[in-house]
Structure 1
């Protein structure tokens, strides 16, 4: 039996207002061909199906078009919700999708056993615990007036207890069968990029890898976009996002993981690279240097390459600002589209521009970064760490 692990599709994602639906469509086309050619029996998608809790109509269409193509294959599909997903949105068609051998678990179920899926194919048996992103209320009871430190410890303890109950259910009812545990969370020691939204209050409630115990034969995680193995001995894997979702991921080699089961045990975990269809590029230097680098770029890719430019100049002047604006608005190279830009001055006129570098678009600044910068400007404030933690909790509740 062959199982394919993927996650963090983020359907509907825009990179600095640039639509990435073409990138995803090319990945989905490749994915379907791969499933068919390699006779994949089970497809696992570990959360963040959509980029927004309320997807656009275009995002819905891309999702259902993919499912329409997948159901024509002899492949069991299991999808779970991530912190970007709305459980209600994912679960809405769940009963209908069951008829097509698609299991969707958008949010934590009341009973642990309702997240267990069994697969029996090719004389091999597999048990999957399809655990989605767990919200605060799923793992603990909050109390008025509790401290931030208390909340963090309760979250960690709640996660350990929750996954302990999951593995205990497997031990009671499915022992001696290959066991894959899905999850969407931050495990301490994993390497982040700038595109993951804060999860469990700024990632401070990340859990230790040993929380999953030694029972699962493979832990199929989502949330972290950089592919990585957290624990080789315990087979804890982030497969990562299928396409780069931020410029911090421009050097990542995107992949899917394929797990092979033979004679009732995992015989192989293969890392399969995903074809790359566009480059994300960063050009930094003076105005002249950046312009020269843009003109010199010559690589041809399936999709136009996207660039961020960072211009560093000595002193601030209106002339340089105008030249910078002209550079970002120009189409110097038909192979590149500039989607992010920043102008820095070593010495500049003090004023409102002190908050962020000249040329920074407010769309490029996260709410947390804006709040932290505001706190820096209000130097008389005390207990800023507590204010930051409170603001993180608000962002988590609002899914921002």
Structure 2
């Protein structure tokens, strides 16, 4: 596949001036290790990654977190991991790049012969835990198998320092941000407590590379990291944790760096995103620009995901042919599974190490209880020895409906449905404006507002009292005749401005009285370069930028 080049600059043809880095993330060694069928999949793929690094003669391998599926893996997992590392990373080959003296690397140890170094941050699965904050990654680092960096034990303040490298004329500043709970990290960013050292680089000779392991996709307010939060002087950002694969680096419009979401190396859930092809990447850097080439992994077990909605098959299911409803549904499911098994064959490669039994997941959305297959595990047993996951091959999911019987979404019930998404749906789909002011929705509004504040009891009481006043106003003025509801709502809008202003004023007053904590959104970049003057932390609680005002929450255009 053609490579992706970072800028219009010309890459140096001399390999002595060019960094060659193999990128991989979310390998999850030990995933489902007790399963006889898929328990060894992660190790097969890990060996392919190490072998590819050898074949490409890379300077080092950079891992984006979650090397292990658990912080304290089993003895069997750890033994197999170290066996593979010994097989591929040791040797007499000369390391072709230099590194700053302030960071201790394994290949500088005279007692260890490292031919292919590995640099790695930790993810949320293999992060440090326990009273002493140690994990399997610390053990690998101590035994000189892996150069573990980007670990932060003080979650009240984060100070990022780069590992400075050079190869010929090319200089590289490698930053690592191991996993920090996203809400905690966002809070630190808003308070200006995340700082980053920038190399003394007046001539712009350093290529700045950041690897991190955080939520990139939206998973609730303040539970993901926005791209604009990242330092604007970065040249390339390697993002771990998200398992979906984006095939080439994305140019960030705000900060002008390139961002790569490589995706996981193995499938750890039966979802559509995990069924996409798995890749690692080859990143080459010279003349302060880069070339990137995706490399398809050939040992990943084939996986096919499909979702069907039984509402689209109503004509077939309602045909009077003497068969009961569940029999018709089972036949439809079998047809789809057979098609999926055939589709999985197209994902097989010529690599003999690739497991051939595919992972198959068919999600069936149903509305009527008569169509639900209650014994999903028993149904899947007919595919024993044909698929890797017969007991989880199908998933019956009831279509979410609102109180008018209309589908809200076809999302899996295991997915998180945020309060904000619920509110947005109600505002966008309500045909009768009176429905917006149901007690259920007012409760949701109260919860959203409370989440934006601290746990201060006075704040919650103020919000509850203010909303109660709004509800009392509606109860007193709403006519029994529904034909006049719109007219009365118009009257409420003419008078509710004062009520809503009091709510917002009360929130700000609570914020001003709570001087110890800042919950405001700072418009400056949340990362601050060490040595520069930081903007003064705000103490005023504001409605976050981009969020609807309280008045907007009550009104519909």
Q: TM-score of the superposition, structure 2-length normalised?
A: 0.51
2:361 equivalent among 283, 286, 308 = 308
Structure 1 stretch 227-236 or stretch 2-11: which is displaced more? 227-236
* Change over 3 Å in CA distance of 1:248–1:126 after alignment to 2: same
Q: Partner of 2:283 in structure 1?
A: 259
1:69 equivalent among 61, 66, 87 = 87
Q: Distance in 1 between matches of 2:46 and 2:369?
A: 46
1:334 equivalent among 377, 386, 394 = 386
2:151 equivalent among 96, 107, 111 = 107
Structure 1 stretch 239-248 or stretch 296-305: which is displaced more? 296-305
Instruction: Report the count of equivalent residues.
Output: 338
* Residue 79 (structure 1) aligned with residue 125 (structure 2): no
Q: Partner of 1:182 in structure 2?
A: 211
* Change over 3 Å in CA distance of 1:255–1:332 after alignment to 2: closer
Q: Partner of 2:515 in structure 1?
A: none
Structure 1 stretch 68-77 or stretch 219-228: which is displaced more? 68-77
Please identify the structure whose Cα radius of gyration is greater.
Answer: 2
* Change over 3 Å in CA distance of 1:278–1:333 after alignment to 2: same
Structure 1 residue 288, shift from structure 2 partner: 0.4
Q: Distance in 2 between matches of 1:106 and 1:55?
A: 21
Structure 1 residue 5, shift from structure 2 partner: 1.8
Q: Distance in 2 between matches of 1:128 and 1:344?
A: 45
* Change over 3 Å in CA distance of 1:115–1:17 after alignment to 2: farther
* Residue 234 (structure 1) aligned with residue 254 (structure 2): no
Q: For residues 208-247 of structure 1, what are the structure 2 equivalents within 5 Å?
A: 208-228=226-246, 229-231=249-251, 233-246=256-269, 247=271
Relative to total residues, which structure has the larger strand share, 1 or 2?
Answer: 1
* Residue 343 (structure 1) aligned with residue 343 (structure 2): no
Q: Which digits, 9 at most, give the CA deviation of each residue in 1:71-104, with x for residues without a partner?
A: 226222111111222221045325534x45x311
Q: For residues 247-326 of structure 1, what are the structure 2 equivalents within 5 Å?
A: 247-262=271-286, 264-275=287-298, 277-282=300-305, 284=308, 286-295=329-338, 297-298=341-342, 299-300=344-345, 301=348, 302-303=354-355, 304-311=357-364, 316=369, 321=373, 326=378
Q: Which digits, 9 at most, give the CA deviation of each residue in 1:289-330, with x for residues without a partner?
A: 11233345345444211122345677545x974775542222
Structure 1 residue 32, shift from structure 2 partner: 1.8
Structure 1 residue 239, shift from structure 2 partner: 1.4
Structure 1 counterpart SS, 2:123? coil
Q: For residues 67-146 of structure 1, what are the structure 2 equivalents within 5 Å?
A: 67-72=85-90, 74-87=115-128, 88-93=134-139, 96-97=142-143, 99=144, 102-105=146-149, 107-108=151-152, 115-121=161-167, 124-135=170-181
* Change over 3 Å in CA distance of 1:183–1:38 after alignment to 2: same
C-alpha contact (below 8 Å) 1:112/1:169 kept by paired residues: no
Structure 2 counterpart SS, 1:213? coil
Q: For residues 185-204 of structure 1, what are the structure 2 equivalents within 5 Å?
A: 185-187=214-216, 190=217, 202=220, 204=222
* Change over 3 Å in CA distance of 1:240–1:333 after alignment to 2: same
Q: Distance in 1 between matches of 2:76 and 2:203?
A: 41
Q: Distance in 2 between matches of 1:329 and 1:10?
A: 27
* Change over 3 Å in CA distance of 1:207–1:337 after alignment to 2: closer
Q: Partner of 1:142 in structure 2?
A: none
Structure 2 counterpart SS, 1:170? coil
* Change over 3 Å in CA distance of 1:332–1:270 after alignment to 2: closer
Q: Partner of 2:475 in structure 1?
A: none
Structure 1 stretch 245-254 or stretch 3-12: which is displaced more? 245-254
C-alpha contact (below 8 Å) 1:113/1:169 kept by paired residues: no
C-alpha contact (below 8 Å) 1:50/1:84 kept by paired residues: yes
Structure 2 counterpart SS, 1:49? coil
Q: Distance in 2 between matches of 1:65 and 1:276?
A: 19
* Change over 3 Å in CA distance of 1:231–1:123 after alignment to 2: closer
C-alpha contact (below 8 Å) 2:44/2:299 kept by paired residues: no
Q: Distance in 1 between matches of 2:367 and 2:294?
A: 46
Q: Partner of 2:326 in structure 1?
A: none
Q: In structure 2, list runs of 5 or more residues that go unmatched.
A: 1-18, 92-114, 129-133, 311-328, 349-353, 400-411, 418-439, 452-557
Q: Which digits, 9 at most, give the CA deviation of each residue in 1:122-162, with x for residues without a partner?
A: 564322112212347975xxxxxxxxxxxx6x34425x652
Q: Distance in 2 between matches of 1:275 and 1:58?
A: 24
Q: Partner of 2:11 in structure 1?
A: none
Structure 2 counterpart SS, 1:130? strand
* Residue 169 (structure 1) aligned with residue 198 (structure 2): yes
Q: Partner of 2:487 in structure 1?
A: none
Q: In structure 1, list runs of 5 or more residues that go unmatched.
A: 140-151, 193-197, 347-359, 370-378, 391-400
